[in-house]
Structure 1
Amino acid sequence: MGELETEEQRTRAEVATYLRELADQLDDDGEVTLELGNRRVTLEPVDPITFKLEGESDWTAGEPEAKQSIEFEMVWRRAVQGDEDASLNVERTDQ
């Protein structure tokens, strides 16, 4: 088991570049490497993939700003032989 969940502020252009690179990796039918901040994880997506997309706006009357977000999630199931196949190795990239 393992999980990589992290966040950092980026420009719209930086996010677009990151998503394009992720899309290119998905097109290649091999491993997908996710890097954010000083952490990295490599996954091997397989078909079929369940794709979830959510857009949200959260605002309270009287507040000067609304918090808006776009979230997406991709889920797939893959065959495993044991713990090693099922685990997720999150690496630190600042060592």
Structure 2
Amino acid sequence: MADVSAETEKTRAEVAEYLHEFADELSPQQERSTDTDRGEGSLMGDDRSTTEESRTGNDGKVTVIVGNESATINPPKTLSFGVEVDADDSLLGGPTGERGVVFSLNWSSEDVETDDELGIE
């Protein structure tokens, strides 16, 4: 498998739509929801006890929860969105190599409107 990567400027809505499409393709056809209102989303880890969640409030902030830790981000309306697909094949080209996909969202902190809000979750 060849390495593939791309990075482009997208709006938050365009990034969300891309990730929704990826999630729809990842889910087997019979498990796909026909509900168009996606509401609050969550990502569940595999069979391990770690739970990953993502919550979006009406203010555009997103809280990512991994286990007992969380981080709240507030990306601007336009940001840099990257996708990288890579393979770490074994030296002999056998099936023991690893493959992965990485999505990245990057923006300058100067692009985000700040407020004096403090919060504890």
CA distance in 1, matches of 2:68, 2:86: 28
Residue 83 of structure 2 corresponds to 53
Relative to structure 1, is the Cα distance of residues 29 and 49 closer, same or farther in structure 2, using a 3 angstrom cutoff?
A: farther
**Structure 1 51/72 Cα, relative in aligned 2: closer, same or farther at 3 Å?**
same
In 2 relative to 1, CA 17–42 (structure 1 residues): closer, same or farther, beyond 3 Å? closer
The 2-side partners of 1:62 and 1:55 are apart by 17
Tell me by how many angstroms 1:77 deviates: 2.0
- 5+ residue gaps, structure 1, are 1-11, 86-90
CA RMSD of aligned residues (A): 3.6
Q: Kindly report which structure 2 residues correspond to 1:1-95, keeping only aligned pairs within 5 A, or say none.
A: 17-18=42-43, 22=54, 25=56, 30-60=60-90, 61=92, 63-79=94-110
Q: How many angstroms apart in 2 are the aligned matches of 1:29 and 1:57?
A: 38
Matched to 2:100, the amino acid is: S
User: In structure 2, what residue type is equivalent to 1:72?
Assistant: F
CA gap 1:48/1:31 in 2 versus in 1, 3 angstroms: same
Whole-angstrom CA distance in 1 between matches of 2:102 and 2:65? 17
Aligned length, in residue pairs: 67
TM-score, structure 2 normalization: 0.42
Give distance in 1, aligned partners of 2:69 and 2:106.
21
Superposition TM-score, scaled by structure 1 size: 0.51
SS at match of 2:110: coil
Give the structure with the higher percent strand. 2
- The share of aligned pairs that are identical, in percent, is 24
Bigger Rg, which one: 2
Give the AA of the match of 1:30: G
Specify every segment of 5 or more residues in structure 2 that has no aligned partner in the other structure, as ranges. Answer: 1-25, 28-40, 45-52, 115-119
Of structures 1 and 2, the one scoring higher in RCO (CA 8 A, sep 6+) is: 1
